[in-house]
Structure 1
Amino acid sequence: MNDTLIRTLQLEDAAPLLQFELENRTWFEQHIAPRAQEFYTPQGVRRHIEQYLDGYAAGSWHPCVMLDGQGRIVGRANLKDIDRHAASAEVGYRIASDQAGKGLATRALRHLIALADQRWQLSCLLAYVTDDNLASARVLDKCGFVQGEHQAGMEIIAGALRGGYRFVRLCP
């Protein structure tokens, strides 16, 4: 894990990102809403990256990838919906199934917290976790997020409407 690099997403990441998403698609769809089918093509991933980088240039996104020591993408981490006036953003991350439980989600979230503070000067971070995603809830708790009230019907996962919680972290 110590040799894991976290950096801003680049256009050159298209092919390895598609491989990462395809290899982990079933795993991700157990925990978060599925992506549209057209995403899972070279053109779809390239469009996705271009949209994220446009958001980065506009100051509304900060998309990152996590690379292992061999340069393989093993995770993603994003600040999204950055609102400079409200000094807030939402955090999100996804870790490869073969890397789960190794501390990468915590490392990704700590990286996003540092970006929010140092790069974007944000004072409030939000996250949303479904009821059955206990591992993500533990990571958020470990990183100083506070669980809010339950929200019914938060997201559709595996064809079922699931509830969950909004988490908030106020940054110093």
Structure 2
Amino acid sequence: MSTILAKLPAEMREELKEPLGGIYTDAEALLSEAGTPVVAVGDIVTYYLLEAGYRPNVAIVDGKTKRERVEREVLSAIEEFDERIDVANPQSTVTDDLLEALAAALDAPEPTVIVVDGEEDLASLPAVVAAPEGGSVVYGQPDEGMVLVPVGDDTRARCRNLLERMESDYARIAEILSA
């Protein structure tokens, strides 16, 4: 049974619509700017990176885009990964299962897909906190493109602040992510 460690309050929803980095519509242009490792959050983002010939170190997917099922060819993208971790993570939350899977995937020698039963929309925040300096987190900005977040002190502090301001147990989040 997973435990919810962060829940997004309604008053923060608008703030999270602001992208954490630059927006790209071309995966190759994005990849030319990305550091490693790359954590991809979202089915469509993962699909576009794979289509560009790049397998992200970690992909977090939930089989949906804009709350609708993704097409079969996008779903089949998760089959590109040798390692797979299944987790539960309800909408607008971050669970300990998701964080533990993220930490394990970042340490894994093989590219790993985390398949979420629920929703992965907030996973970019702990991914930025957990990813090593110089890495990148890529997530989708609905109807605009892919957001590239370079992992560094500033972006890490911003994501940590957002998680702390949610209804959260940030001490436990930091403990799991070793942040």
* Bigger CA radius of gyration: 1
Work out whether the TM-score is over 0.5: no
The structure where strand makes up a greater share of residues is 1
Output the TM-score relative to the length of structure 2.
0.27
TM-score of the aligned structures, taking structure 1 as reference length: 0.28
